[in-house]
Amino acid sequence: MTTTAPAAATAAAPPRPTLARPVSFGRVLRSEWVKLRTLRSSLWTALLTVVVMVGLALMMAGLLNTAADEPEMQQGMAQDPGLQAIGLTGTTAVVFGYSFAQLVIAVLGALTMTSEHSTGMIRATFAAVPRRLPVLWAKLLVVAAVTAALAVVALALAYLATMPILDAAGLEVDWSDGDQVRALAGCVLYLVTIGALAVGVGALLRHTAGTIFTLVAALFVLPLIFSIVTSVSDAAWAEWVNKLLPSVAGERVISTGVTPDTLLEPWTGYAVLAGYTVVVLVAAAVAVRRRDA
């Protein structure tokens, strides 16, 4: 005689309930940090930033040390308008690498925002965070924190590496000089702001190549063009536009020299760069909320 198993025994077990946790900003922030630190490109970007800043600091310290023993070279550097604007102190050598490090930071900020759009992963991200704006702010905070850490580490290593050379030239960093302390802190602020600007531009354009091209044009190409124009002509409008360009204005906070009439004061210049960044981020927030992923 055959027996039939009870229906209750043969029925499929009901699925176990899944514990759903609310989407908090802390969890979104942790998610964006995991995304950034697990990318191989992020590690290379970090290493490149430190190497570039330390290497260029050593180069500038070597030039200043050589100039200390050659009066003609020292006089020529002292009469150069560009070097007068940034100053000829030990701090100038320590922070000198920022000019190229900003490009690396800009690429990092751009990739943080645009890489998900290029792969389509942003759809899954926005599905998990329907309000969307926490994603933008989390990416912004992660890039800002990483940039600040990299800048501090790079400046510390640059200071240690150049200290013997600068001491020999009589140009050691003067920690009692407010302008030199401001330049060191301003270097960190400037690079963090450039990273934030890159995140905003990336959110607006959503295309890696286009974002990087836009940042290179705004930070490097336009200043080069206007520096040539202002050097060969006396056009007042060119000088006015040049001193209001994002990088030209922002990098004034890193200078230790006398401010010429054609440039802004250090904190005024940084305020201009910060203003550009805020405007771009506000436009990016509107675009993230209104556009389709």
Tokens of 69: 């023993």
Number of domains in the chain: 1
Q: What's the pLDDT tens digit per position in 161-196?
A: 999 998 888 888 889 889 999 999 999 999 999 999
Q: Is 158 part of a structural domain of the chain?
A: yes
Euclidean distance between CA atoms 260 and 255, whole angstroms: 11
> Which residue's entry shows tokens 């124009």?
229
> What is the average pLDDT score of the chain?
86
Q: Is 16 part of a structural domain of the chain?
A: no
Q: Is 265 part of a structural domain of the chain?
A: yes
Euclidean distance between CA atoms 49 and 192, whole angstroms: 13
Q: Tell me, what amino acid is at 287?
A: A
pLDDT given for residue 76 in this prediction: 65
pLDDT given for residue 78 in this prediction: 60
Of residues 119, 100, 111, the one with CA closest to residue 158: 100
Euclidean distance between CA atoms 123 and 32, whole angstroms: 14
Q: Is 107 part of a structural domain of the chain?
A: yes
Q: What's the pLDDT tens digit per position in 107-125?
A: 999 999 998 888 888 888 8
pLDDT given for residue 160 in this prediction: 95
Per-residue burial over 42-67, b = 16 or more CB atoms within 10 Å of its CB, e = otherwise: beebbebbbebbbebbbebbebbbeb
Q: Is 230 part of a structural domain of the chain?
A: yes
Q: What's the pLDDT tens digit per position in 243-264?
A: 999 999 999 999 987 888 888 9
Q: Is 17 part of a structural domain of the chain?
A: no
Alpha-helical (H) ranges within 170-265 are: 178-205, 208-216, 222-232, 236-243, 246-250
Q: What's the pLDDT tens digit per position in 37-60?
A: 887 777 888 888 899 999 999 998
Segment 13-26 shows an average pLDDT of 65
pTM for the full predicted model: 0.87
Q: Is 153 part of a structural domain of the chain?
A: yes
pLDDT band of 75, cuts 50, 70, 90: low
Lowest mean pLDDT among 86-95, 98-107, 129-138: 86-95
Please name the helix (run of DSSP H) or strand (run of DSSP E) that holds residue 155, with its range, or none.
helix 133-169
Q: Is 11 part of a structural domain of the chain?
A: no
Residue 259 contacts residue 243 (beta carbons within 8 Å): no
Of residues 141, 80, 73, 143, the one with CA closest to residue 106: 143
Euclidean distance between CA atoms 165 and 65, whole angstroms: 7
pLDDT given for residue 17 in this prediction: 53
Segment 95-101 shows an average pLDDT of 91
Segment 276-288 shows an average pLDDT of 96
Euclidean distance between CA atoms 188 and 152, whole angstroms: 7
Residue 52 contacts residue 107 (beta carbons within 8 Å): no
Range of the domain at 257: 32-290
pLDDT given for residue 1 in this prediction: 46
